[in-house]
Structure 1
Amino acid sequence: MRVAVRTLCEFAARRGDLDHRYTPAPSSEEGIAGHGKVQARRGPDYQREFALAGECAGLQLSGRADGYAPLANRIEEIKTHRGDLARISEPQRALHRAQLRAYGALHCHTTGKDSVELALVYFDVGKEKETVIKESASADSLWQELTELCEAYRQWAQQEESHRRQRNQALIALKFPYGNFRVGQRQLSETVYKNSLRGETLMVQAPTGLGKTLGTLFPALMAMPKAGQDRLFYLTTRNPGRRLALDSLQQLRDAQTNALPLRILELSAKDHACEQPDKACHGESCPLAQGFFDRLPAARQAAADFEGILTREALSRIAAEHTLCPYFLAQEMARWSDLVVGDVNRMFDQHALLHGLTRQNEWNISLLVDEAHNLVDRARGMYSVTLRQSRLLQVRRQAPAELKGPMNRVASQWRALIRDALPEEQTSDRDQTQFLDSIPKALLPSLNLLVSAITDYLTEQPPDLALQELMFECLAFTRLAEVFGDHSLCELRTGGRGKAALTIQNLIPADFLKPRFEAAGSTLLFSATLSPGVYHRDLLGLPDSTCWQAIESPFSARQLQVQFARHVSTRRQHRDSSLEPIAQIITQQYRQQPGNYLAYFSSFAYLKAAMDALQARAADIPVWQQHPDMGYEERNNFLDRFTADSRGVGFAVLGGAFGEGIDLPGKRLIGAFVATLGLPPFDAWHDILKQRLHDRFGAGYEYTYLYPGLQKVTQAAGRVIRTPEDRGVIWLIDDRYSQPQVRSLLPQWWFEDMTNKDANSNPAPNHLHKK
């Protein structure tokens, strides 16, 4: 039974309260850099990442101490932090010491030494200051302590080994919940199964209506035993995708003859799972944090024994029975679940829980990413941040006296930055934007001091949301500033005195995502729109060996009429003249076949003008429109207008809430008008993006404009045909749709009758061409 030393200690050596005070812990990048700085200060004989292994009480232990100094016979464990060391709680320090002493025990046991010197090194990444706590320990005492930890863990480990054997036996014999696969679904499943066994990275373009969720989960689960995989992560970019995955997994469980011993966990956002949002995450404030680790073993066992899916609701009930925080109980169960369903940020953002656990435990994981076409934009958001001058000034008005000084220093740096970069700002209220070649270095030290000051203040004071938000904004900015490069852009924008904003905008997420994908044993990214594959491979940082495959559509061209309005231009300079022809097209189609339609436009202004033109021509046609910033209820009301008995035209913005992820089958939607190519604006920002992508990949225009735009078009038009019984029409309104390059990016099944398809139209996965 294998176990990492850190996992062993986190299981058996944690005691007392949960303590997540407002302490800005270093990011993973900062932690790695901090370790490197400490290690670089040591002598030439110093051994970094000192590997240790051994057997104790029936467990095979392994781990890496951060360093070993042979001449001093000293093992070091480095822990990075930011700010006052006193903020690291006693339970957390005890855990650090237990881990270090476990390494010492393994070292003495392996080398036969009678004793060892142990050094716990706390490194402040802001001040680059070390605090070293040393102790000497005998081999006998260290081995006794390690044995006690292993004894505490062994029963759980035996249970987990038994669970894994039962799980693997059940997965080998897993039954599909339906008698037959849908058209194309079997091909998808076979492809996923083979990819898991080979441990490769694959992108699959599979059309909507195929049953992608079951078609990927079923084979990935079946492959786990043979592939030797420890965990399966099913990640989504939208909440509806997570619910669909959980529903599909319940279908799988219900279809089995015997109970399926598969531990499935739903990871929800903290905002949704927290039971005490008005309290801070530590024992002095929240009763669910007090004594958390003392009550955790019983709650963990109850969750492990739970026969259903560990949804947010199920975890909330278990946590309530043990007076625990359900959010952090879910974090704990992520260590012990076979299949985790969650948002993509759990694997890909700066503090990704699943990526950290994968590295710590050296898991062989299978990674499934649903709606993967959204991952480029989602990842750009994960590694972008905006620093707002107005937030600082607003918080400063009500700030306590001890924070006025640090805030004034930041405010002074803001004024200097604006004065040097945009001299006109002092006499003009108009918006001005400047793209900077580098991060303003003079601003960063004052931001770090402010973060430390706010942290110190919040440690001793009740929660203050405004201060907390300011602290996290400053901290996020400084972290990304430290890794700033050609993958990102720095933008300074002003709109009047006190309204400046400084943004680090990620352009190429590949540099950040590449290590995440490298940590996976096998990876599958799938969506209805993943063409062309090289675009996603390059921007996501996928391996050069990544393959791409298209799955046969279950739909026929006989179900869909694709009409082109080649006489209309929807370019910005031609939009006014396009309104009357668009209104004529919509009116003619509606008169010919009354029913429900969606009309997509590139902006709300264009949408409103086109709707007004339609009403002026045909006032009897019912219309309704998407508005900016629609809430949940308003979006539902918009969709509720589409019924089997209703008629009319809903106007929406391409790429918005109604451009993908909605199901209106049958007569609820019989057609769509797409009056745009979906191209982003031709402005200064996109010019820079185009140049960066050209410099890196040699495809600036395609990667900036053409591919993202046509992806939105395909998604929106895909709302029309949702089932094999649907019939509908799509109007593509723009003269550029006649261009061969544009036409080639549209789904080919729109134009091909299934009976005439070549037998080789869906070949095996192909390696993407290298540039």
Structure 2
Amino acid sequence: MQIDARNRQATLSVGEFSAFTPYATPGFGGVSAAWRAQLGTEWHQRIQRESADAGEGMQDEVSLSGALAWRNWTLHLSGRIDQFKASPTAPHLREIKTLSEPVPLDREAILERYPAYPLQLLTYRELLIQAGRSDLGRDPAAETFRLELLFVEIGSGLTQSLVLDKTYDGLFVDHLDTLVDYLEAKQERLARLRSLSVRPAYDTPRPGQEHIQTELAEAFSQSQITLLEAPTGYGKTGVAWEYAARRLAAGQCDRVLYLTSKSTGQTEALTRLKALLSKATLSKSPESDSRSSASPPATFWHIRNKQEHCIHHEFRCSRQTCPYLAELHEKWKRSGLQRLYLLSQDELDLETLRAEGRVTGICPYEIMRAGLGQRDIWVGDYNYLFSPSSARLLADQADFDPARTFLIVDEAHNLPSRVASAYTHEFSVHPVYAALDDLNANKAPAALRNHFKILANLLTAGGNSPTRSATSDSEVDPATEADFRHSIGKVSELLNSEPLAYEELQPDTLELLFQISSAHAGQLRGELKHQLWSPHPGTFRLECIDASKLIQSQLSQYNGALFLSATLTPLESYLDEIGLEPGGGTAAPRASTHPQISHLTPPAPWRSEAYDVAIDLRVDTRFKSRRNHLPTTAATIAQAAEFAGPTIAFFPSYAYAKQAYEHLQLKHSELRVALQPRAGGSLADRNAYLEETLAFHDVLILILGSSYAEGVDTLGGKAGTAIVVSPALPEMNFIQEAKREHHDNLGHSGFERAYLHPGIQKVNQALGRLVRSPEHKVKALLHCQRFADPKTKRLLDPLYQSKSYIHEESDLREWLNK
């Protein structure tokens, strides 16, 4: 649906109009929806053929469009009538509808469960009446229309013909009012946003922020996408919210979507957003009426994942196992939940949703989904835009238009890997056999069960090479790969064409069916590059190694996109990863542009004196050499803690970190040393752990890329010395080598793209979090010979590209003492 609130017009299909509800409602979705659509098409074609053979004189798939005026709004509608027979006295309209429940249905059952079906016929009749008045010079309203719903029971093929009488006529007027009420509410929402008075996010601009709003406006005047690369502590989140609010107020967009890769980023974003909106609320004009003055100038919703909403004793999203998903349509009508969205514009927190769910018997996630469209700003995870299993949440909203939505992507350096992960699928033999048992028990079509057997056999045989160990990864031979891809393709095709008792299947089976369907759809998309491999016996993993084209396709739909990160270097590589071609010249020392993107790098002058960096040439931390240098590594950490503690030591893996921890305990027992937990815990848990550990320990060992090293903002100013042990290159394995080969084939340096870039990005991220404000200072030791290699060194943040080198222990003491 396209809404032009200024001119009071809406454009939508007859199907959209008939099924419209102000609140998103649950549907079948997934493979079940595909199968029903396919079977519905087949029944349509069969009935149309039978009608032609019987000589009924019906025209099939008749296109019809027109404009309906209602309460000063104009609705532009278009659609296709399944069957139509023109007549000077009694035109005949027929809609064919397939049902999974037995027929016949009475009037009450139809209005209860399928109100959109009679509404479609009534809408087509109204369009014919409007067309007749203008084209025929007569009044078709005086004619007697025959409006027929032909229901087909999917399982048996039994049919029921229902001719609408005058008792159905009131539905159309009521539905027009429902839609126009929604359109009026949107017009009011936009008017409220246009009156938004935006105050600066920071009362006193931080260094480098003095002109950033002007620079952002100039950048977006030239490009649809802008990259804002600024260090940790610059205030990127507040800057982004201020700019987005100005776009809302100027009418440049109607909604803001803020996505990030970590829940910690969402927490920070919400804190900054609330602060900005509180200032805007205080600055509203005195002429505002009391009701609008009490309302926030812009409303928001923090989208949490399904599991956080769950109030059932078991987290399994199936109507078969969860009572909170059963009979949702009936529960919704008597719930009165509309009051949550219409009577209050305040934030609806998770506990409120869970409490309402317990009272109404409705899943809290569904309550959230129903009211999401009533809010101006959405804050959530990347998955809600890029994951095939979660993207429906936004796509199903009645008025979600990317072309009128401003997108903010926080922690943007994580986007390529997160999207690739969302389109990576793993299949193991035991779940496939369990699903096969479930399909057998529910008498699924024989062809489907046969292909599940083939899939199970492939997983059993293909992942058990005689030469592989029980834990090693392995390439899948070309013949087996072709058979596997063919097998999941056939299963997916059968899911779209064969009837299946989805309501009777186990949740794990449904999840596997969806995964197979998604994997096959991903293979068919030219936007994704997959590599099949076997991480361990009995398992195949269809790994997405390049999602750049898909990312670019999604980004191109948006009103504008602002990317936030402290580490997008090297830019050319990053632009490749998100599907944007690098190029263009330099517009200014701090901004570069080309036709697709602008790149802003505002200054942070206080950082230039914050880091004292040295490169330690005494050790080689590559896997084969690191054990030989472990005593030197431990001694270096101990010296740093003694001279300039507390010391934070960053390691590339938990196993390596544990070796160093044990060596420190054995050889330097006087030190109080802590090794981060494997599990991340909540943000509050991590913050508390870091605060307490750094207060009472001499050394804290963290893992590069972990939620402790990157997912918190409490490390700033806490360390006297930081030691980065190794450039943190990914472990060499089959999939990393596949990525290397893929980049080589594209004309890039495969080793740099697959290994160097992701490793050094973690190093830059970790060091960047140690300095967040002008008073923070830190000594940083890059503890490996490889940091001095020109190819590695140039990828470091310019502040870390030190010319100070540690050749021997005396150099280390001198550097620590200065």
Distance 1:299 1:739 in 2: 62
**Partner of 1:164 in structure 2?**
190
Whole-angstrom CA distance in 2 between matches of 1:210 and 1:34: 56
Q: Which of residues 544, 550, 553 is equivalent to 1:506?
A: 544
- Corresponding residue pairs, total: 730
| Equivalent of 1:746 in 796, 804, 813 | 796
Aligned residue in 2 for 1:434: 475
Q: Report whether the alignment pairs 1:659 with 2:699.
A: no
Matches within 5 A, 1:95-134: 95=116, 98=119, 102=123, 105-106=126-127, 109-110=130-131
Q: Is the 8 A contact 2:94 2:148 kept in 1?
A: yes
For residues 398 and 47 of structure 1, what CA distance do their matches in structure 2 show?
A: 39
* 304, 309, 332: which one aligns with 2:370: 332
* Equivalent position of 2:330 in the other structure: 291
Could you tell me how far apart the structure 2 residues matched to 1:348 and 1:486 are? 12
Unmatched segments (≥5 aa) in structure 1? 753-771
1:525 maps to 563
Is the 1:108–1:116 Cα contact (8 Å) retained in structure 2? no
- CA distance change for structure 1 residues 137 and 739 in 2, over 3 Å: closer, same or farther? farther
Shift of 1:152: 2.6
Gaps of 5+ in 2: 1-7, 50-58, 285-292, 582-594, 803-818
Counterpart check, 1:24 vs 2:64: no
For 2:301, the equivalent position in structure 1 comes to 265
Q: Which amino acid aligns with 2:174?
A: E
**Match of 2:405?**
365
Secondary structure at 2:373 match in 1: coil
Residue in structure 2 matched with residue 535 of structure 1 by the alignment: 573
**What amino acid sits opposite 1:459 in the alignment?**
E
1:417 paired with 2:458, answer: yes
Q: Which residue of 1 aligns with 2:589?
A: none
Q: How far 1:53 sits from its partner (Å)?
A: 4.6
Instruction: Pick the structure with greater CA Rg.
Output: 2
| Partners of 1:546 and 1:440 in 2: CA distance | 40
Taking the aligned partners of 1:154 and 1:728, their CA distance within structure 2 comes to 60
- What secondary structure sits across from 2:174 in the alignment? helix
Give 3-state SS (helix, strand or coil) of 1:659's partner. helix
Q: Is the 8 A contact 2:452 2:491 kept in 1?
A: no
Which residue of structure 1 lines up, in the alignment, with residue 429 of structure 2?
Answer: 389
Deviations 1:525-558 (A, max 9, x none): 1111112233232222347612222122263222
421-430 vs 665-674, which moves further: 421-430
- Is contact 2:742-2:750 (8 Å) kept? yes
Q: Displacement, 1:614?
A: 3.2
3-state SS of the aligned residue for 2:194? helix
Give the Cα separation in 1 of the matches to 2:614 and 2:308: 44
Distance of 2:430 and 2:456 partners within structure 1: 12
> Counterpart of 1:720 in 2: which secondary structure?
coil
Q: How does 1:508-657 map to 2 (within 5 A)?
A: 508-542=546-580, 545-553=596-604, 555-595=606-646, 597-629=647-679, 631-632=681-682, 635=686, 638-643=689-694, 645-657=695-707
State the AA in 2 paired with 1:392: V
- Per the alignment, in what secondary structure is the counterpart of residue 574 of structure 1? coil
Q: What is the letter of the counterpart of residue 443 of structure 1?
A: S
Residue 758 of structure 1 corresponds to which residue in structure 2? Answer: none
Q: Secondary structure at the match of 2:374?
A: coil
The residue that corresponds to 1:212 in the other structure is: 236
Structure 2 Cα separation of the partners of residues 523 and 313 of structure 1: 32
Residue 222 (structure 1) aligned with residue 246 (structure 2)? yes
Please tell me whether the aligned partners of residues 213 and 239 of structure 2 are also in contact (alpha carbons under 8 angstroms): yes
Amino acid at match of 2:540: L
Cα deviation code 1:396-433 (max 9, x no counterpart): 67887336996963563145425875674599857562
Match of 2:530 in 1: 488
Any idea what the Cα deviations from partners look like across 1:710-744, whole Å, max 9, x if unmatched? 11111111231122221211111222222344333
Q: How far apart are 1:27 and its partner, in Å?
A: 7.5
Structure 2 residue 27 is matched with structure 1 residue 3: no
What SS does the aligned partner of 1:163 have?
Answer: helix
Are 2:198 and 1:174 aligned?
Answer: yes
Alignment partner of 1:245: what SS?
Answer: helix
Given candidates 736, 741, 745, the residue that maps to 2:786 is 736
Q: 1:48 to 1:290 in 2, by over 3 A?
A: closer
Hey, what's the Cα distance between the residues in 1 that align with 2:399 and 2:648? 46
1:34, 1:123 within 8 Å by CA — same for their partners in 2? no
1:376 aligned partner: 416
Q: Partner amino acid for 2:420?
A: R
Amino acid at match of 2:116: L
Structure 2 vs 1, CA of residues 392 and 49 (structure 1 numbering), >3 Å: closer, same or farther? farther
Give the Å deviation of 1:211: 1.6
Matched, 1:58 2:72: yes
Compute the TM-score of the two structures, normalised by the length of structure 1.
0.80
For residues 134-158 of structure 1, the C-alpha deviation after alignment (integer angstroms, 9 at most, x for no partner) is 99999x9999754431223333432
How far is 1:622 from its partner?
1.4
Deviations 1:241-262 (A, max 9, x none): 1122222222123223244331
| Cα 1:724/1:65, change in 2 over 3 Å | farther
Is the CA contact (8 Å cut-off) linking 1:118 and 1:137 kept in structure 2? yes
Residues 19 and 282, structure 1, Cα contact 8 Å, conserved in 2: no
**Given the superposition, is the C-alpha separation of residues 714 and 35 from structure 1 closer, same or farther in structure 2, using an over 3 Å criterion?**
farther
Change (3 A) 1:320 1:189: farther
**Aligned sequence identity (%):** 19
Distance in 2 (CA, whole Å) between partners of 1:348 and 1:324 is 27
Change (3 A) 1:179 1:361: closer
Q: Does 1:149 align with 2:175?
A: yes
Greater shift, 404-413 or 151-160, is seen at 404-413
Cα distance in 2 for residues equivalent to 1:603 and 1:393? 35
Give the C-alpha shift of residue 375 in structure 1: 0.9
1:267 positional shift: 1.3
Output the CA distance in 2 between the equivalents of 1:591 and 1:244: 35
SS at 1:576 equivalent: coil
Aligned residue for 2:709, secondary structure, equals coil
Higher mean Cα deviation, 213-222 or 430-439?
Answer: 430-439
C-alpha distance in structure 2 between counterparts of 1:364 and 1:584, whole Å: 58
Equivalent residues of 1:720, 1:729 under 8 A apart: no
The 1:572/1:622 distance shift into structure 2, 3 A limit, reads: same
Is 1:459 the counterpart of 2:503? The answer is yes
Tell me by how many angstroms 1:746 deviates.
2.3
Change (3 A) 1:282 1:395: closer
* CA offsets 1:591-616 (integer angstroms, 9 cap, x no match): 21132x22122222222222333344
| 1-structure distance, mates of 2:785, 2:473 | 35
2:671 and 2:96 mapped to 1: Cα distance? 70
CA distance in structure 2 between the partners assigned to 1:122 and 1:185 by the alignment: 64
Equivalent AA in structure 1 for residue 551 of structure 2:
L
CA distance in 1, matches of 2:693, 2:504: 54
CA deviations 1:480-509 (Å, max 9, x no partner) are 3444786111224552xxxx1122111111
Instruction: Give the distance between the partners of 1:76 and 1:692, measured in 2 at CA.
Output: 54
Distance in 1 between the 2:208 and 2:202 partners? 15
Q: Distance in 1 between the 2:575 and 2:800 partners?
A: 25
Q: Contact between 1:242 and 1:342, CA under 8 Å: does it hold in 2? A: yes
